[in-house]
Amino acid sequence: MGAALKNQNYSFGGFECSVVSDPFVEYSLFEDNTVLELSKQKKQLSVFKLLEKNLSFTTASSFANQVHFGQAHLTPIQRWFPYREGYSTRLVSAFLEELDISGNVFDPFAGSGTTLLSARHNNLQSFGVDVNPISALVASVANEQYSKNDINEIIAEKQKIARLEKINKTFEYSFELANKMFNEEILNVLLQLKFRIKSIENKIISDLFFVTWLSLIEEVSNIKKEGNGIKYKNRKRTPSGYINIQKEEWEKEHFPNDKFEFVRQKFLQKIEVSLYDIQNNYGLIEKKPRVYNADCLVFDDLFSDEIQFTFFSPPYCNCFDYFEIHKVELWLGGFVKSREELKTLRKTGFRSNTNSLNGKPISYRNENIENLISLFDKKNLWSGRIPTVVRGYFDDTYTLLKKLYLQTEKGGYVGSVIGNSAYSGVIIPSDILTAQIAREIGFKVENIFITRHLTTSSQQKKDLEPLKKYLRESIVLLKK
């Protein structure tokens, strides 16, 4: 790879890339020493210039469609669960191939198991950790080894559900918002199916059916995942603004009379897709990952195996609460049974949003981060805790990278898909900040692949216009 980087254009794992030879901004425009008070933008650029020193950048727009889950609904196994936060198996395979990986692979944010699945397809042992119990379950199910007996049992259980009769019983639930988010009858059918699935004795089959059930929830509900949370489907945008359609009216328009059959058929269709993927050898590859439901910052307590390649995408420093996005599945699935349990779960994750702040002290200090935080206009921050989120985020980043450095074999790699963010007209360049932290620890920054540029809120667009090239999603590649 090093030799290839001498050329302006090159191929990386089958993807076309080009070396960035010019700076993103003409810095000389901002070097007038007679100006005593630099603008907010100029001060940011001075920080960026320091961070970019001696870094290699590559334009990798051919990765743009690989760093998100846009095509997941077409990809075998990845399509089992609608996971918005992810990347493609093809992207991981490109890095495995280009870096000639033959040892252990690790993902500290396993998500739906994409990195593990790619490792498995390349006959590599892998390890995955995720603090979200849904993600840990999905990653495990996606990477299970399904035998011929398992396949026969899937078919048999599918047939049993096809013959299942509606029970005239109201199933109990603890999720207090459920009656607003679901048609009452549909909710009861979902709970009946869950009760039936939990009675399956073979855990491999029960888990597969349960993930299928979880993947069905949003589709048959009155809500949808959007932005940093969930929205009601009966809320409609009009030229004069949003209007709310009456819940009963909206349900009558979108759901058939026979709601039991409606939900059952949706479920059976999804099981059929999973069965097809399994029968076509996607589940018969020898290597099986080890998946843990735990905080990524304690991965070294879970396994001591040396790692050759780590590939992951952490939560971005953008205050998106991924537990909020999955809270309906967490409640209905029985992963949390009270608000207090959900609150506790939120505080066990990476400190990337205000709900994740857990009072843990900030150990890692970084002058560049502090200089950027000092530019925040507190009046325009929607929460006074955002500076603490930013400090906590990079404190956790330091802890993770330090532990990865210790457990990565010499000559091994770490690849991270990272998105930059912005608050009150100040960009937090997570890619180059992560690169700085990694270099402090001892990693060499091999490359930063710039995959695509991101948009921001209309309120910040004008302030960020001179800096918009820094609003991007990148892959930071490190080497020990």
Q: Is the pLDDT of residue 381 over 70?
A: yes
Q: CA-CA distance, 351 to 397, in Å (whole number)? A: 9
Instruction: Please give the DSSP secondary-structure letter assigned to residue 389.
Output: H
Q: Is the pLDDT of residue 286 over 80?
A: no
For 363-392, what is the mean pLDDT?
Answer: 94
For 71-75, what is the mean pLDDT?
Answer: 70
Neighbouring C-alpha atoms within 13 Å toward the C-beta of 51: 27
Q: CA-CA distance, 398 to 4, in Å (whole number)? A: 30
Between residues 256 and 12, the one the model is more confident about: 256
Highest mean pLDDT among 47-56, 228-237, 258-267, 454-463: 258-267
**Total domains, the chain:** 2
301 and 433 part of one domain: yes
Within 8 A by CB and 6+ apart from 78, the residues are 69, 72, 86, 88, 89, 112, 114, 117, 142
Q: Is the pLDDT of residue 105 over 70?
A: yes
State the pLDDT confidence band at 35, using cuts at 50, 70 and 90: very low
- Is 389 part of any domain? yes
Instruction: Dump pLDDT digits (tens) for 135-152.
Output: 999 999 999 989 999 999
pLDDT at 459: 64
Question: Given 282, 305, 330, which residue is the final one in a domain?
Answer: 282
Instruction: Please give the DSSP secondary-structure letter assigned to residue 13.
Output: T
- Tell which residue, 318, 215, 209, has the closest CA to residue 271: 209
- Is 327 part of any domain? no
Decide: 409 and 308 in contact? Cβ < 8 Å.
Answer: yes
Helices 148-162/259-277 angle, 10° precision: 170
- Is 140 part of any domain? no
Q: Is the pLDDT of residue 108 over 90?
A: yes
112 and 207 part of one domain: no
Between residues 419 and 282, the one the model is more confident about: 419
pLDDT at 25: 53
Q: Is the pLDDT of residue 26 over 70?
A: no
Instruction: Dump pLDDT digits (tens) for 326-348.
Output: 999 999 999 999 999 999 999 99
- Tell which residue, 244, 262, 236, has the closest CA to residue 180: 244
- Is 8 part of any domain? no
List, as one string, the DSSP characters of 326-339: THHHHHHTTS--SH
Instruction: Dump pLDDT digits (tens) for 423-452.
Output: 988 999 999 999 999 999 999 999 999 999
3-class DSSP state for residue 294?
A: coil
293 and 439 part of one domain: yes
278 and 299 part of one domain: no
The CATH number of the domain holding residue 375 is 3.40.50.150
Angle at CA of residue 229, ends 226 and 235, nearest 5°? 60
163 and 112 part of one domain: no
pLDDT at 137: 98
State the pLDDT confidence band at 71, using cuts at 50, 70 and 90: low
- Is 122 part of any domain? yes
Q: Is the pLDDT of residue 261 over 80?
A: yes
48 and 158 part of one domain: no
- Is 89 part of any domain? yes
311 and 451 part of one domain: yes
Range of 433's domain?
19-131+289-321+340-479
Within 8 A by CB and 6+ apart from 175, the residues are 328, 331, 332
301 and 446 part of one domain: yes
424 and 293 part of one domain: yes
pLDDT at 11: 78
- Is 366 part of any domain? yes
- Is 307 part of any domain? yes
345 and 457 part of one domain: yes
3-class DSSP state for residue 51?
A: helix
pLDDT at 322: 87
273 and 409 part of one domain: no
- Tell which residue, 46, 52, 42, has the closest CA to residue 463: 42
418 and 475 part of one domain: yes
